[in-house]
Amino acid sequence: MLLPTETVYGLGADAANPAAVAAIFEAKGRPRFNPLIAHVHDAATAARIAAFDDRALALAAAFWPGPLTIVAPVRDAAAVCDLARAGLDTVAVRVPGHPLSRAVLAAFGGPVVAPSANRSGRPSPTTFEDAFAETGDKTAAALDGGPCQVGLESTVVAVLDGPVRLLRPGAVTRAQLEAVVGPLAEADDDAKRSPGRLALHYAPDAPVRIEAAAPRAGEAFLAFGSWPDGEAVFNLSPSGDLAEAAANLFAFLRAADRTKPAGIAVAPIPDQGLGEAINDRLRRAAGFVG
Ligand code: TXA
Ligand code: MG
């Protein structure tokens, strides 16, 4: 089922049902080694599926429902089947904030795995139309929740042995996490635990050029801050607001791509707060390892 969340649209299936989970991998063309996030209605359900220590419980209390995913040792391996976890002994869980996904999770009862609804390697869909265009033909049901408020995927942290590790920057910022659990460890040395972090990801068809002061001939331009309007200019946030830019990012990459430009140039985005997650996605769209 196409499922709206506050971050991006997901393609959801019963986490305990290997055939349903296999259909998700198939629909996305997703490599089987890349595990899925189990979405649940509340933190108590999450803590039955995953072994939460005090830090995980504190993060859940601070940020759920909301755009944070917690990776912890799996406790109930049947609730989120092996295929969904890519055979790992850890599981990623998240309590989403969007009322429609919350209603589905409450009615269903069990965990729902939902990767972003794009085909593998493409930008995550942040509107119903984009989600439907990506994988709508592969699913039996589709819920229209309008445009996603956050527009970037959830922050992913691993709460295992040692300090909490940031596996994927997202809407919950580094500073917000550190206020709850202290300094984070980097995940760079840890590709195995973050198997989805492939370099070329979130990529539109046109080549993406980041940190661009101005577009070159033939390029579409994703501006940030004051910039004159023009053909193939998409301003992520005229007022320079990072939350607005995050919400617009994937939809504007897609819109720019639809103009069939020679390339897509993107203005520099400050690396503070939400900017860390925006720049992470842009580096990947441009084909650099983040
Ligand atoms: O905002 C979101 O998180 C969206 C919405 C739909 O909830 N979902 C999403 O799912 O972005 P997906 O599958 O596109 O990204 C899940 C990320 C991948 O990078 C994957 O490798 C990582 O979470 N992940 C899942 N299980 C993991 C685990 N056990 N250990 C480490 N990373 C894991
Ligand atoms: Mg994804």
Q: What percent of the chain has pLDDT over 70?
A: 94
Number of domains within the chain: 2
pLDDT at 109 over 80: yes
Domain shared by 46 and 95, yes or no? yes
Q: Specify whether 126 is located in the same domain as 236.
A: no
Residue 203 lies in a domain: no
Domain-embedded: residue 201: no
Domain match, 117 and 213 both? no
Q: Model confidence over 80-107: pLDDT tens digits?
A: 999 999 999 999 999 999 999 999 999 9
Quote the pLDDT of residue 193.
47
Query: Tens digit of pLDDT for each residue in 19-77?
Result: 999 999 999 998 888 999 999 999 999 999 999 999 999 999 999 999 999 999 999 99
Same domain assignment for residues 172 and 242 = no
Q: Give the domain range for residue 229.
A: 208-285
Using alpha carbons, select from 180, 168, 194 the residue that is nearest to residue 277: 168
Residue 189 shares a structural domain with residue 225 = no
CA 239 to centroid of ligand 2, rounded, Å: 28
Whether 45 is covered by a domain: the verdict is: yes
Q: Are residues 141 and 225 in the same domain?
A: no
Distance (Å) from CA 80 to ligand 2 centroid: 18
Across the range 257-278, mean pLDDT stands at: 97
136 and 214 inside one domain: no
Domain boundary residue, one of 163, 193, 223:
193
| pLDDT tens figures, 146-191 | 999 999 999 999 999 999 999 999 999 999 999 999 999 976 655 4
pTM, two decimals, is 0.93
Same-domain status, 216 and 100: no
CA atoms within 13 A on the CB side of 109: 1
Of 193, 217, 245, the residue that ends a domain is 193
Same domain membership, residue 274 and residue 183: no
126 assigned to some structural domain: yes
Which residue has a Cα nearest atom 20 of ligand 1? 196
Kindly state the tokens that stand for 238: 């005229």
Q: Establish if 202 belongs to a structural domain.
A: no
pLDDT of amino acid 102: 97
Tell whether 231 and 139 lie within a shared domain.
no
Asked if residue 200 belongs to a domain, the reply is no
- What pLDDT does 287 receive? 86
Average pLDDT of every residue of the chain = 94
Do residues 8 and 96 both lie within one domain?
A: yes
Does residue 274 sit within a domain?
Answer: yes
Q: Which two tokens stand for residue 104?
A: 């589905």
Q: What is the CATH number of the domain that holds 154?
A: 3.90.870.10
The pLDDT of residue 286: 92
Q: What is the pLDDT of residue 192?
A: 44
Atom of ligand 1 nearest to the CA of 37: 25
Position in ligand 1 atom list of the atom nearest CA 154: 1
Q: Same domain, yes or no, for 219 and 185?
A: no
Is the pLDDT higher at 198 or at 139? 139
* pLDDT score, position 203: 84
Domain boundary among 168, 193, 218: 193
Does the N-terminal peptide bond of residue 215 adopt cis geometry, omega within 30 degrees of 0? no
Q: How many angstroms separate the CA atoms of 205 and 263, rounded?
A: 9
Residues with CB under 6 A from ligand 1: 5, 7-8, 10, 34-37, 69, 71, 85, 88, 90-92, 94, 96, 114-116, 153-154, 156, 167-168, 193-197
pLDDT at residue 290, rounded to an integer? 39
